Chain A
Amino acid sequence: MTEFRPLLADTLAALPLPEIWFGLVFFILATFLLLDGFDFGVGALFATRADDGEREQLIASIGPFWDGNEVWLVVFGGALFAAFPRVYAALFSRHYLLMFAILGALILRGLAPELYEQRHDEAWQRWWGRAFVVGSVAAPFLLGLFTANWVLGATRTLTLPGVVVGLAVVALTVVDGVAFLRLKTRGDLRADLRRSGRRAVIAYVGLAVASLGVIYATTPAVRPELTSPLALALVALTVLFAVGYAVALERDRHYLAFAATGGLVYGLVALVAALSFPYVDRATGLTIQEGIVSPLSLQILSVGALVLLPLVFGYFVVLYSAFSGPVDPEESY
């Protein structure tokens, strides 16, 4: 132990831990967007299905997963708070009302499907069904708005690039929801979803391109980052993944379509991180080096993350393999 601790400290000290944590915070955000993204997408697609049995299937498909998925947002908040406390403080208080709007949307999205299942009378299910849709569309829109405001250094809440990015994120969650539901449903529902997926991925690419245009026009500060080779490569990858998604959808390659969704999500968040770098909060001008916690705290966090995150992935493997394949709407408790 006496040998081990200095060795560990030396190894950690040699690593660029602040930059690694900058990357990790965005990686956690992306994982949240991918996993809770399909919960949001399922909620949005809920609006397009009128049949009771199909609606039950949609809700049942995310039942065992959504709580675990949403914890990635809690971990995102925790990681940002722990690694960049001054950014957490400045960012969340700057977008005060937006943060509570996000929380409201998440509360609605979380509770509505649980309540929908409680009773089977028409009025009750109509209202909680609507609440489910509203929460599922509002949450990714507001999270997109928040993220755009954050990396672009906006001090106001309602900004043009933020709104366009928010819409793009909504489209992306529908892409995600379709990919997930194609794995979890059968029959007509699954066949119909192909068209929704095709439309959603076209909408996403369109809105993503529009976002880049709007950002270029309105935010001169990030123009160099926007035209950097890395950003252009990520944009090219996004187009590639979108084509891959569309092809996989046509050929019923469900896992491939979901993998392509993963590419789209991580690609988008990587682009977001690239726009922010080297700042971790552009509005206050805090760089990664200025915003990071002291080395001792960061080392403890790093050891914690190194041990715990692989375990967390293990939990998700157990969860997703226990419930692989299409849902049986009858199943509960």
Chain B
Amino acid sequence: MIDPVIASRLQFALTTIVHIIFPVMSMGLAPFLVYFTWREVRGGPPVYEQLRRFWTKVFAVSFVVGTVTGIVLEFEFGTNFAAFSAVAGELFGGPLALEGMMAFMLEATFLGVFVFGRERVSDALYFISSVAVGLGTWLSAVWILVANSWMQTPRGYELVERGGREIVTLTDPAAAYLNPRFPYMFVHMQNAAVLSVALFMAGVAAYYVFRHHVWGYPVEGVSFWETTLKIALIALVITAPLQAVHGDLYARHVYETQPQKFAAMEAVWETDSYVPEYIVAFPTNLGDLTDPQAKELFGIGIPGGASWLASGGDPGATITGLNEYDDAPPVAIVFWSFRIMVALGFWFILLGFWGIYRWWRGELYEDDLLHKALMLSSLLGILAVELGWIVTEVGRQPWVIQDVLRTADGVSPGLTGGEATLTLAGFAVVYLGLLSLYTYVIARIIRAGPPKRAELRTSEAAPATPAEGTADD
């Protein structure tokens, strides 16, 4: 039997790591779908109806799986982290309740209209439904990140004795809900979702473009995929550089407000100034992987770089080392996750500019290396999101609420190792199945491709122009 604390943490990690994929897909697709719907109802070219219908299928499947896996997370606060829920429920439960009423209701109801209602409601109401669904997914993120960011930088509360235990009591709602970390988290997460979906779209579209133009197997309706690729590249080249810009501001904020997490991100054990930034770090032995120590890593370090980044321009800034604290987070996980995430971020910027350059040169459909790079990168955006969240959540350990409550003290007191191990094993099996089924269904949707031009509702009303329609039908 696994210790109930470890089992609960592993189970929460597993269920969140799987769940976050689906909100990333729905939040990232939302702005695209609003745009496609707008162009469609405004009588744009028929490809927008194809785009709207095709990506709505992906959205709907992601949303359904996101709903069922999301309820699990809400319940786990009560089942596995009862002590945390009792201590912090006043600040944590409120945002969850408001999320349900304000955001989840909006998206789930209008999703019905958006997915099934094209023939039943007016163009105006249909467009409003797309906005409502999109707004719902983003408002949902607002409240979830209000709750999470409060655990990183808790404000606006005091500890009051109640029922024999010190519990968090709200004193200043504005300070608590709009705590210092929230804006950084929200911007970084939402941009990451759009970026991840842009990469996914580009990867899928690149496959069909490659098949048609490079491989020479004609793809029916390839213009749909060409348009998808271009739209995805535009989104990529905008979101990828932004991600680096506010990622940098975010890291500085971590340095200022969670120095322990920052030290783990940089694997700094001894307090020091002029700390170098290891742009590239190579593990030279197994020990570096499991126990990285910045000073001993073989890599390319920019002298004073980490200090400079953390302080926003001062290479002599002091970084407090992990040795100053009683206990450190699992440094290896945080250090390597952070490095890989940042490397991926720079790769996405390169990919975006590479694609745009080829497009500008008129070689977008011929560069097979670009196509392969996009295909291989289609899921890397989601990987980067996962790694970012691992840095955020593992980096805060041993605290569940920074400097207020330790994770080990947040677990349900009556939970036995047997129960926790049983449900952990159950989730491992069920979620493996869930992921396989999701992948299977999405793959089927992609293989089936967009609806044929002849099946479109706009095909008679707005006949395709020769340049767009006849070549591929």
Q: A residues touching B (Cβ–Cβ < 8 Å)?
A: 63-65, 67-68, 70-71, 73-75, 77-79, 81-83, 85-86, 88-94, 96-97, 99-100, 102-104, 106-107, 110-111, 114-115, 118, 290, 293-294, 296-297, 300-301, 304-305, 308-309, 311-312, 315-316, 318-319, 322-323, 331-333
Contact = CB atoms under 8 A, between A and B. Distances in A.
B422 A97 contact: yes
Given A68-B108, A82-B93, A331-B119, A106 B71 contact: yes
A315 B110 contact: yes
A82 B109 contact: no
A32 to B, nearest CB: 11
Contact of B105 (A64, A68, A293): A68
14 contacts: A71-B104, A74-B104, A78-B99, A81-B74, A82-B89, A92-B75, A93-B80, A93-B82, A93-B413, A110-B64, A296-B171, A304-B101, A312-B105, A322-B112
Contacts of B67: 67, 70-71, 110
B89 A293 contact: yes
A156 to B, nearest CB: 13
B104 A64 contact: no
Nearest to A114: B64
B75 A319 contact: no
A94 B92 CA distance: 20
3 smallest CB-CB distances across A and B, nearest first, come from A85-B89, A92-B78, A64-B112
A3 B473 CA distance: 66
A81 B85 contact: yes
Contacts of A85: 85-86, 88-90, 92-93
A294 B158 CA distance: 12
Nearest to A291: B163
Contacts of A110: 64, 67-68
B1 to A, nearest CB: 14
B94 A107 contact: no
A29 B383 CA distance: 37
B248 to A, nearest CB: 34
Contacts of A96: 79-80, 412, 415, 419, 423
Contact of B90 (A90, A107, A293): A293
B118 interface: yes
Given A82-B89, A318-B113, A319-B109, A107 B100 contact: no
Interface stretch (B55-63, B209-217, B360-368, B393-401): B55-63
Contacts of B79: 92-93, 96, 99-100
A89 B71 contact: no
B70 interface: yes
Nearest to A75: B100
Contacts of A94: 414
B300 interface: no
Contacts of B80: 93, 96
A35 B109 CA distance: 12
Which secondary structure characterizes the binding site on chain A?
Answer: helix
B447 interface: no
B86 A333 contact: no
Q: Of residues A77, A81, A110, which shows the largest number of chain B Cβ atoms within 10 Å of its Cβ?
A: A81
A89 B412 contact: yes
Contacts of B64: 67, 110-111, 114
Interface string B326-342: 00000000000000000
A255 B458 CA distance: 37
Contacts of A316: 109
B423 to A, nearest CB: 5
Contacts of B106: 315
A99 B86 contact: no
A316 B111 CA distance: 11
Given A85-B93, A315-B110, A304 B85 contact: no
Contacts of B112: 63-65, 67-68, 319, 322-323
A88 B57 contact: no
B321 to A, nearest CB: 37
Contact of A81 (B83, B93, B173): B93
A319 B110 contact: yes
A301 B79 CA distance: 23
Contacts of B101: 75, 78, 304-305, 308-309, 312
Q: Of residues B77, B83, B116, B173, which shows the largest number of chain A Cβ atoms within 10 Å of its Cβ?
A: B116
Interface in B411-441: 412-415, 419, 422-423, 426, 430, 434, 437, 441
Contact of A297 (B69, B90, B426): B90
B175 interface: no
B437 A111 contact: yes
Given A64-B116, A74-B100, A331-B116, A107 B109 contact: no
A316 B101 CA distance: 12
Contacts of A81: 74, 77-78, 85, 89, 92-93, 96-97
A55 B444 CA distance: 23
Contact of A82 (B68, B96, B115): B96
Contacts of A88: 77-78, 85, 89, 93
A332 B57 CA distance: 10
A319 B117 CA distance: 9
A75 B72 CA distance: 13
A5 to B, nearest CB: 12
A74 B70 contact: yes
A1 B69 CA distance: 41
B169 interface: yes
B96 A294 contact: no
Given A308-B98, A323-B116, A100 B426 contact: yes
Contacts of B77: 81, 88-89, 92
Contacts of A102: 75
